[in-house]
Amino acid sequence: MNLMMDSNQAAKQHSLMGSEAASERTLYPYVTGSSVVALKYKDGILMAADMGGSYGSTLRYKSVERVKPVGKHSLLGASGEISDFQEILRYLDELILYDNMWDDGNSFGPKEVHSYLTRVMYNRRNKFDPLWNALVLGGVKNGQKYLGMVSMIGVNFEDNHVTTGFGNHLARPILRDEWHENLSYEDGVKLLEKCMRVLLYRDRSAINKLQIAKITEEGVTISPPYALKTFWGFSAFGNPTAGAEGSW
Q: Is 26 a catalytic residue?
A: yes
Residue type at position 93: D
Helix axis angle, 82-101 relative to 110-126, nearest 10°?
Answer: 130
Contacts of 61 (CB under 8 A, 6+ apart): 31, 52, 53, 55, 82
d(CA 234, CA 244): 8
Which residues carry out catalysis?
Answer: 26
